[in-house]
């Protein structure tokens, strides 16, 4: 009977004490090495464990870096909340958002689009007013339907509507609903980096940001709903 490699491997898994009982075999075994001479089984085990240890160490460092990034993000969010609480006017609210998102959060371009705003008042504050029946909103139908932040490379029509003349410089963007199901409007955050925002990234921070903006805007936008 000829055993297959799978059967041999399964036997060794079920009998981990095998090499303890066959010590002379351990000394005789030689395993081909892809870049050098054959090595013993023990040397091979040491090499494998060293590689595994290196992988685990790298994963641990990645986790540590994520934790540090999250701590910094929480600190920035905390400071943003404090500064928004101190803002006494709509202009101060918008200026505070711009300062933090461009400075602390490294946004290259921003657009805050809101419904039900007087156009002159919107321009004074640096807001883009939107009509609820604007035909261009058809490009954002799925975004409004989901009610969740959207990250990645947007379509050209979306970029032009959100960023105007700055659209060609936007490599990736995050679109944040303001109000439930974007009932108040949306915040567009653009980056020149193509991978700064991508579909696989977490959006919890962006969701919280949208809720925060909605809350601080509400006293200044009496006609906004939700």
Would you write out the chain's pLDDT as a tens digit for each of its 226 residues?
777 888 888 887 888 777 677 767 666 666 665 555 555 555 666 777 888 888 888 888 888 887 887 888 889 889 999 999 999 899 999 999 999 999 878 899 999 999 988 889 998 999 999 999 999 999 999 998 899 999 999 999 999 999 999 999 999 999 999 998 899 999 999 999 999 999 988 899 999 999 999 999 988 875 544 4
Q: Where are the alpha helices (DSSP H) in the chain?
A: 5-14, 18-21, 23-28, 41-86, 90-103, 119-125, 141-146, 156-163, 204-217
Checking phi first, is residue 106 left (phi over 0); if not, alpha (psi -120 to 50) or beta?
left
pLDDT in tens, 175-216: 999 998 899 999 999 999 999 999 988 899 999 999 999 999
Whether the CA torsion 85, 86, 90, 92 is positive or negative: it is negative
Q: Are 40 and 30 in contact (CB under 8 A)?
A: yes
155 contact partners, CB below 8 Å, separation of at least 6: 139
The average confidence (pLDDT) of the chain is 86
Collapsing DSSP to helix, strand or coil, 208 comes out as: helix
pTM listed for this prediction: 0.69
Task: Report angle CA 156, 119, 181 to the nearest 5 degrees.
Answer: 55
pLDDT in tens, 72-95: 888 988 999 999 999 989 999 999
Query: To which residue do tokens 């657009």 refer?
Result: 111
CA distances from 130 to 60, 111, 113, 127, 185 (A): 47, 12, 6, 9, 8
Query: What is the biggest distance separating any 2 CA atoms in the chain, rounded to whole angstroms?
Result: 89
Q: Are 148 and 156 in contact (CB under 8 A)?
A: no
């Amino acid at each position: 009977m000829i055993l297959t490699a799978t059967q041999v491997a399964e036997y060794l898994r079920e009998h981990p004490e095998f090499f303890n009982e066959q010590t002379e075999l351990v000394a005789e075994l030689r395993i081909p090495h892809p870049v050098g001479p054959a090595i013993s089984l023990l040397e091979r085990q040491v090499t494998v464990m060293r590689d595994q240890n290196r992988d685990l160490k790298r994963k641990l460092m990645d986790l540590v870096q994520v934790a540090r990034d999250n701590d910094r993000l929480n600190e920035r969010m905390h400071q943003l909340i404090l500064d928004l609480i101190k803002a006494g006017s709509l202009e101060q609210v918008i200026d505070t958002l711009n300062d933090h998102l461009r400075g602390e959060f490294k946004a290259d371009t921003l657009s805050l689009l809101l419904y039900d705003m007087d156009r002159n008042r919107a321009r004074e504050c640096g807001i883009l007013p939107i009509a609820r029946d604007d035909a261009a909103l058809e490009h954002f139908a799925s975004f409004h339907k989901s009610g969740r932040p959207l990250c990645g490379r947007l379509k050209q029509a979306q970029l032009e509507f959100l960023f105007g003349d700055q659209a060609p410089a936007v490599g990736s963007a995050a679109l944040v609903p303001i109000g439930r199901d974007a009932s108040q409007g949306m915040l567009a955050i653009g980056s020149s980096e193509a991978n700064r925002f991508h579909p696989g990234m977490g959006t919890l921070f962006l969701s919280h940001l949208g809720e925060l903006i909605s809350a601080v805007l509400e006293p200044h936008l009496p006609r906004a709903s939700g």
